[in-house]
Structure 1
Amino acid sequence: MSLLNSIDRPHVLTAIETWDAAGGGNYMLVRGGVSTHVLLHHGREYDAAAIAGIAHGLATGRTLTAADIPGGSAAASKALVRLGFDIRDDSPPVAERVPGTRSTTPRTPRATTTRATTTSRPRVAASDRIVDKLCPHCFIAMPATGICDQCD
């Protein structure tokens, strides 16, 4: 279970309105950091991790930064795609070793990720799954401190 399972589409739409009201770019200076995953909505671009963090705050009362989200901006973008939003991955290309040589070649940039048109769920590699520790009383993901924010 991910921290971002608590958000739904109306939370994200309200988070986008909050982002716009706060001035977008200036808002990121307060929230801390810039995501490499961009939420595309009505011809505008938004920081996917920031929007997911604000949406989590609307859903639970606890706003998250990209550092608070297990899996970072990639996990935030997966949650937003699950809710039907379009995401563009602006991650820099990763150098890949050419077998049999000492040289590397840059990978091509990732294509734009959009929501699936089919109803089947996308496959997730086992290495992409993050298992959160859950509170045994309220079943909410535990923070790194091991002390539940809700129960203690």
Structure 2
Amino acid sequence: MTQQHVLQALAEYDARGEEEFLDVYGFVRSDDYPVVHEGRTYDSRAVLGVAHRFATGRIATPEEVASGFDGAVAILRRRGFTVTEPFFAPTGTARTARTTRAPRATTLRASTATRTPTRRVATAPERAPSICPTCSMALPGTGVCDNCS
């Protein structure tokens, strides 16, 4: 899944609106780790499921997204997206209130001063996915289109 797949999912989320987007793909609204992009917040589980569709041609079910969610949040962060800590609004508070909330600050433990610094390894740039010439869907790792073969 590339950054472009996630951006496509966010664009569809904006075009449909939150309720329709969630209903169409069978997701239930979740306040776990919202994705913040250009000042707006998005349901990260639903965005990941739909981005998976753009990447593979098959939508990831809510159950599949939930089972590998920690790794999926890490993927979003590596792709340059801001994923904040869970936000639980008091009852009756509108969800839009969290759009202005800054990510939760983390505090350093006293023992971190004695740790040896770790060296960051440069990551390779994302490779553009291969596209099926017949149906224009992203090809899976096998290189054979699931729809056309």
Distance 2:9 2:79 in 1: 14
1:15 corresponding residue in structure 2: 9
Larger helix fraction of residues: 2
Determine if contact 2:77/2:83 at 8 Å carries over to the other structure. Answer: yes
Matched, 1:84 2:77: no
Which runs of 5 or more structure 2 residues have no equivalent in the other structure? 89-102, 107-118, 123-139
TM-score, normalised via structure 2 length: 0.55
- Partner of 2:20, secondary structure, is helix
Distance 1:54 1:112 in 2: 29
What is the letter of the counterpart of residue 28 of structure 2? G
TM-score, normalised via structure 1 length: 0.54
Matched, 1:67 2:63: yes
1:42 corresponding residue in structure 2: 38
Distance 2:105 2:68 in 1: 18
- Following superposition, the deviation at residue 119 of structure 1 comes to 4.5
- Following superposition, the deviation at residue 78 of structure 1 comes to 1.5
Distance 1:112 1:73 in 2: 22
Distance 1:19 1:45 in 2: 10
Deviations 1:91-140 (A, max 9, x none): 66xxxxxxxxxxxxxxxxx9369xxxx9448xxxxxxxxxxxxxxxx878
- Following superposition, the deviation at residue 77 of structure 1 comes to 1.5
The alignment's C-alpha RMSD in Å is 3.4
* Number of matched pairs: 101
